[in-house]
Amino acid sequence: MQRGSLVFAKALATLAVPAGLGLALGLGACGGGDDGPGDGPFTIDIDNASCGDRINFAGEFVDWDNDTRFCGINDALFQVQGDGPQDNTAPNGRFESICITDQPTVILDVTPPTGNSVCTVPPSSYPLAGIAVANRDVIRAGAFFSVRSFTTARRDSFFAQAGFSFAPALAQVFVHVHGTPRAVSIGAAHAPAQAISGTTWAPGDTGHEVYFPNVDAATGSTTLSVAGGAIGTGTIPLASGKFTYVTVYAR
């Protein structure tokens, strides 16, 4: 086959592949190392909405116990730091089409709604603001950004069950593990890690949700690691009195 005909045939083949299959094929073609520079940037076809040469950042913000009872956090604001692009969450907790710049990581401020949750008992509000880490390689790999927060009432009962006190001056780190649950760790000092491996929280560092309470934020950042490697690990920011929200993709 001549070169021009081969290029045309490849173009037709690309158009004929459904979006989901194209994503699966793209993932299979990625390099072998999980954390090395050879893993990105990815050239996987994702839904870029109307973001043009920017990257569409979308995801969900849900209640702490979302596995046992679905509860989206409505009207929370996700905004790129520095008065950048923003979106408010819908009643199901979803946000979408935040067009972020094409760079390795973009940090967004997360402002919870001021009113009480409409789907938690007892009625209570979400007290902690946060910072969200939008990682380009995680987005391009097709991982779903999913993070959580607790109401004031649930925070108090959660820490009582864990056996230690909430420290409002320290940072809180929440990691969603998209893919195979693996052990997660951070370099900064913290209280005992908590995780969800089934549907409920328990002490541990392995699950699809992992929480590091009362993190020392003195240095302003820490190193996030996943056993066996994952996309989205490395240095993450910390802020006193706030959540740091991260999603990693454990392949």
% residues pLDDT > 70 (the chain):
81
Q: Please, which residues have CB within 8 angstroms of residue 50's CB and are 6 or more apart in sequence?
A: 97, 99
Q: What is the pTM of this model?
A: 0.82
Beta bridge partners of 236: 222
Instruction: State how far the Cα of 247 lies from the Cα of 146, in Å rounded to an integer.
Output: 7
C-alpha of 124 from chain center = 24
Instruction: State how far the Cα of 135 lies from the Cα of 102, in Å rounded to an integer.
Output: 10
Average pLDDT score, the chain: 86
| Helix, strand, or coil (residue 44) | coil
Q: How many CB atoms lie within 10 A of CB 223?
A: 12
Amino acid identity at 117: S
Give the tens place of pLDDT for each residue, 161-210.
Answer: 999 999 999 999 999 999 999 999 999 999 999 999 999 999 999 999 99
Q: Starting from the edge strand earliest in sequence, which strands make up the sheet with 184-186, in order? A: 184-186, 221-226, 234-237
Higher pLDDT, 7 or 103: 103
Structure confidence at residue 50 as a pLDDT band (50, 70, 90): confident
% residues pLDDT > 90 (the chain):
79
Whether pLDDT at 15 is above 80: no
Instruction: State how far the Cα of 192 lies from the Cα of 207, in Å rounded to an integer.
Output: 14
Give the tens place of pLDDT for each residue, 89-122.
Answer: 999 999 998 999 999 999 999 999 999 999 999 9
Q: Please, which residues have CB within 8 angstroms of residue 235's CB and are 6 or more apart in sequence?
A: 221, 222, 223, 224
Q: What's residue 106's pLDDT?
A: 98
Amino acid identity at 251: R
Which residue shows structure tokens 């490849």? 10
Whether pLDDT at 40 is above 50: no
